[in-house]
Chain A
Amino acid sequence: DAGITQSPRYKITETGRQVTLMCHQTWSHSYMFWYRQDLGHGLRLIYYSAAADITDKGEVPDGYVVSRSKTENFPLTLESATRSQTSVYFCASMRAYNQPQHFGDGTRLSIL
C-alpha cells in the first residue's frame, strides 16, 4: 500500500549508542521532515529535506544526522544517544509547500 512507514515502532537503547530511525514514503514527495514530539513542546522540527541530496536543519538539530540519497528514504541517526533524546519521533512527507504533510505512525524511542 502507498503511504509513509517508519521503523522500528519502538526502540530501547542505552546512552552513547548509535541508533537509526527509518522512514520510507511511496508517493515520491519532494519534501520530507523529521519531528520529535514531547509533552509541553508539541512537535519540533529536527531536520527537513526539500529533495534528494538536499537537507537542512530545523529547530532542534543537535545530536542528529540525516541523509537522503533516494527520494523515498529519509533516515534519522542519533550518533551518540542521550537521555534527553527520549521522545516520539515522526517522519512526514509533503508534495509541495501548499499541500498538507502526511505523517508516519511514529517511533517511540527510549534511551536508558
Chain B
Amino acid sequence: AQSVTQLGSHVSVSEGALVLLRCNYSSSVPPYLFWYVQYPNQGLQLLLKYTSAATLVKGINGFEAEFKKSETSFHLTKPSAHMSDAAEYFCAVSDRISGGSNYKLTFGKGTLLTVNP
C-alpha cells in the first residue's frame, strides 16, 4: 500500500510570500496524485491533479504542483499568498486496494496553512 507524507503539519507565511507545501509518496510507479483544500466546516475541494500528462500541473486559485519521479515528490506552490488561502491542504495518491481491482485515495495527514497580514 502506498503512503503519503506531508512535511510540516503547520506552515505560516506572510501575505504576498511564496507558499510551498511538501508532499512525498512511496510508490516507485508514477501514480495519480491530487491536492485538495479544506476550508473550515467544509468538505475537501480538488485543487489540482496529476495524471501523467505533464509534470507541472496548474490548479485553481493560482496553485501549481510539480511531479518529480526521481524524488517521489509532488510539492504544491503558489508564488504569492493571499489571506483567502488560509486553509488545510491534503495531498493524496490513488492506490489500488490490495487483492482487487478497486482503487482508493490514500491521504497525507494535512498541512494547515496560515497567512499573516
Name A's B-contacting residues (CB within 8 A).
31, 33, 40-43, 45, 48, 50, 56, 58, 90, 92, 97-98, 100-106
Please report the C-alpha to C-alpha distance between residue A40 and residue B34 in the assembled complex, in whole angstroms.
Answer: 20
Within 8 A of A (CB), among B3-45: 32, 34, 36, 41-45
Among the 9-residue stretches B66-74, B77-85, B107-115, the one with 4 or more Cβ atoms under 8 Å from chain A is B107-115
Number of residue pairs across A and B with beta carbons under 8 Å? 52
CB of A103 within 8 A of CB of B102, answer no
Q: A42-B110, A43-B107, A100-B34 are in contact. List 7 more A-B contacts (CB 8 A).
A: A40-B109, A41-B109, A48-B104, A50-B102, A98-B94, A100-B49, A101-B44
Q: What sequence of 0s and 1s flags, for each residue 80-117 of chain B, a beta carbon within 8 Å of any chain A beta carbon?
A: 00000000001000101100101111011110000000
Bound-complex Cα distance A101 to B90 (A) = 13
Query: Given A58-B104, A97-B103, A98-B32, are A43 and B90 also a contact pair (CB < 8 Å)?
Result: yes
B43 touches which one: A31, A48, A100, A103 (CB < 8 A)?
A103
Known: A56-B97, A105-B42, A106-B43. A42 touches B90 (CB 8 A): yes
Question: In the complex, what residues of A have CB within 8 A of residue B100's CB?
Answer: 56
Tell me whether B51 is interfacial, beta carbon within 8 Å. yes
With a cutoff of 8 Å between Cβ atoms, the chain B residues found around residue A101 in the complex are 44, 105
Which residues of the partner chain A approach B109 to less than 8 Å between Cβ atoms? 40-42
A104 contacts B104, CB within 8 Å?
A: no
Identify the closest chain A residue to B108 (Cβ): A42
Residues of chain B within 8 A of A103, CB atoms compared: 36, 43-45
A27 to chain B minimum Cβ distance, whole angstroms, is 14
Of A98, A104, A105, A106, the residue contacting B51 (CB under 8 A) is: A98
**Chain A residues with Cβ under 8 A from B107's Cβ?**
42-43
29 contacts between A and B (CB under 8 A): A31-B102, A33-B105, A42-B90, A42-B109, A42-B110, A43-B90, A45-B104, A48-B97, A48-B104, A56-B97, A56-B100, A56-B102, A90-B43, A92-B44, A97-B94, A97-B102, A97-B103, A98-B32, A100-B34, A100-B46, A101-B44, A103-B36, A103-B43, A104-B43, A105-B41, A105-B42, A105-B43, A106-B41, A106-B43
